[in-house]
Amino acid sequence: MKKTIHTKEAPAAIGPYSQAIEMNGMLFISGQVPINTETGKVVEGDIKVQTEQVMKNISAILDQAGYTFQDVVKSTCLLSDMSYFAGMNEVYGKYYPENPPARATFAVKELPLGVDVEIETIAVKGS
């Protein structure tokens, strides 16, 4: 059965989509951007600051659904410029010190709200 996941600890959807959907022991987290839930605004700072906020948002959704970063099997990272790859990687890697998930990283022309990073995540129970 399809279950919609929502937490106030992560930004509300800025369009017609859910923060995450859980189905058959799998969690599909929509792309998260660096919005601070306390202010409702994009965090100011470099790619490391933005990536840290994105990972906090992902963490909140994982937690709400009863998953952890160890359950993550796939991430897709979108960057506004590939020159941000190393900085994003440095922060991202702290959340996956062992057995990191499969991942793809792309530079795209533009991201919502003019941010520099967006990350979507798939987790599986018992992975």
pTM score, whole prediction: 0.96
**What is residue 127's predicted lDDT score, i.e. its pLDDT?**
53
Task: Kindly give the interhelix angle for 85-94 and 47-65, rounded to the nearest 10 degrees.
Answer: 40
| Pair 8, 37: CB distance under 8 Å | yes
Scanning the structure block, which residue is given the tokens 């951007």? Answer: 33
Could you list the residue range(s) of the whole structural domain that residue 119 is in? 3-124
Specify the number of domains making up the chain.
Answer: 1
pLDDT of residue 15: 85
Q: What is the CATH number of the domain that holds 22?
A: 3.30.1330.40
Whats the size of the chain, residue-wise?
Answer: 127
pLDDT digits (tens, 9 = 90+) for 2-57: 999 999 999 988 889 999 999 999 999 999 999 999 999 999 999 999 999 999 99
